[in-house]
């Protein structure tokens, strides 16, 4: 479990996080929704002690992240927004192996771990490819493998859907769906439609938590979302105006519309 208490953080004079309080339960998919510059990425960097709070604490499984960063980093894996920041080795194998190597794995164990992580994202055939020859979408998926190879209990994704085409977004979504239930997943995004797969969502803006609730509770408040410069997809607005639950995916949307039509035709 992650518990964030009264978290404050500043870059120089400008205060980015202004007293964040959050509890993220074990095994849940938690969404951080907010416009650009809301403080989402800064908050995520506190989760494994990469940034130290100015005030307040971040407790991960009973450990203070700022004081036990080494232990916490084994538990919390962060997938950065730009895969070029994450992938620094010449080949896929070397980059995916970097984390497990630092965990003490060597030889065949290390190779197995790398292959296992690549299999999870369906990219085992890329093991000897050079990173600079990969497309942006491929790099994004490999960036996920670099973290999965460390087998962390908590996975943090910073804008996982940013700059991807539809196919790329679906692939990342499928990977997250696959990991759901196995790990605690934290997703930071400003794309409302992709946060419907979360169990709970926190709306964050100007360094403060504005609202926390289920996707239905948060996304149904269209006025609030618009007030915080967030785009509400027409499909979600349609469902809300019909009084239906916000669907998690297209299949659920089809079922829901089907039920709605059959009930109303009677």
Partner 1 sequence: MYLPFLLIYALLVVTRKSLIELAYFGVVLGCLILMLKPKKSIFKHLGFLLGFEGFLFILALFNPGEVILVTPIGAITKEGIYSFFLLLGRAFLSSSVVVLVSNSLGFSKILAEMETLKFPRILVLTLAFTYRYLDLFKDEALRMKRALDSRAFGIGKLEYYKKLGALIGEIFARAYLRNEKIYMSMLSRGFGEFPKFETKKDIIPIALTMIVLLGVLL
Site for partner 1 in 168-227 (CB under 8 A): none
Instruction: Locate all alpha helices (DSSP H) within the chain, ordered by sequence.
Output: 40-46, 69-75, 83-86, 92-102, 107-120, 136-148, 166-179, 215-219, 222-227, 234-241, 250-265
Q: Is 147 in the site for partner 1 (CB under 8 A)?
A: yes
Q: Which residues contact 250 (CB under 8 A, 6 or more apart)?
A: none
- The DSSP code for 79 is E
Segment near partner 1 (CB under 8 A); pick from 12-20, 58-66, 72-80, 258-266: 72-80
Site for partner 1 in 110-129 (CB under 8 A): 110, 128
Q: Give me the residue label for tokens 């109303």.
A: 264
Out of 23, 54, 84, 181, the residue judged to bind partner 1 by CB under 8 A: 84
Alpha carbon distance 9, 20 (integer Å): 10
Q: Is 103 in the site for partner 1 (CB under 8 A)?
A: yes
Out of 2, 78, 121, 225, the residue judged to bind partner 1 by CB under 8 A: 78
Of 90 and 181, which CB lies nearer to partner 1 in the complex structure?
90
Nearest to 160 by CA among 182, 185, 125: 185
Of 89 and 214, which CB lies nearer to partner 1 in the complex structure?
89
Of 132 and 255, which CB lies nearer to partner 1 in the complex structure?
132
- The DSSP code for 232 is P
Q: Is 89 in the site for partner 1 (CB under 8 A)?
A: yes
Instruction: Locate all alpha helices (DSSP H) within 11-89, ordered by sequence.
Output: 40-46, 69-75, 83-86
- Taking the complex as a whole, the smallest distance from the CB of residue 121 to partner 1 amounts, in Å, to 16
Positions in the binding site for partner 1 (CB under 8 A): 45, 48, 50, 69-70, 73-74, 76-78, 80, 82, 84-91, 94, 97-99, 101-103, 110, 128, 130-132, 146-147, 150
């Amino acid at each position: 479990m992650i518990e964030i208490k009264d978290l404050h953080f500043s870059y120089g004079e400008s205060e980015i996080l202004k007293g964040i309080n959050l509890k993220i339960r074990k095994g849940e998919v938690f969404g951080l929704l907010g416009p650009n510059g809301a403080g989402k990425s800064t908050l995520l960097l506190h989760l494994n002690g990469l940034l130290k709070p100015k005030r307040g604490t971040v407790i991960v499984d009973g450990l203070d992240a700022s004081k036990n960063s080494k232990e916490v980093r084994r538990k919390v894996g962060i997938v950065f927004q730009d895969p070029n920041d994450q992938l620094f080795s010449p080949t896929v194998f070397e980059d995916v192996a970097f984390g497990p190597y630092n965990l003490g794995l060597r030889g065949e164990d290390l190779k197995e771990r790398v292959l296992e992580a690549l299999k999870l994202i369906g990219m085992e055939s890329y093991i000897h490819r050079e990173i600079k020859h990969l497309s942006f979408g491929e790099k994004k998926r490999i960036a996920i493998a670099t973290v999965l190879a460390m087998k962390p209990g908590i996975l943090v994704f910073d804008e996982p859907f940013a700059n991807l085409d539809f196919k790329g977004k679906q692939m990342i979504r499928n990977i997250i769906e696959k990991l759901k239930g196995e790990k605690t997943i934290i997703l930071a995004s400003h794309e409302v439609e992709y946060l419907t797969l979360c169990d709970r969502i926190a709306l964050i803006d100007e360094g403060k938590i504005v609202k926390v609730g289920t996707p239905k509770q948060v996304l149904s408040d269209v006025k609030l979302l618009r007030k915080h410069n967030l785009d509400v997809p027409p499909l979600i607005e349609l469902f809300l105006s019909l009084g239906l639950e916000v669907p998690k995916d297209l299949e659920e949307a089809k079922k829901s519309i089907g039920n709605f039509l059959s009930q109303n035709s009677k």
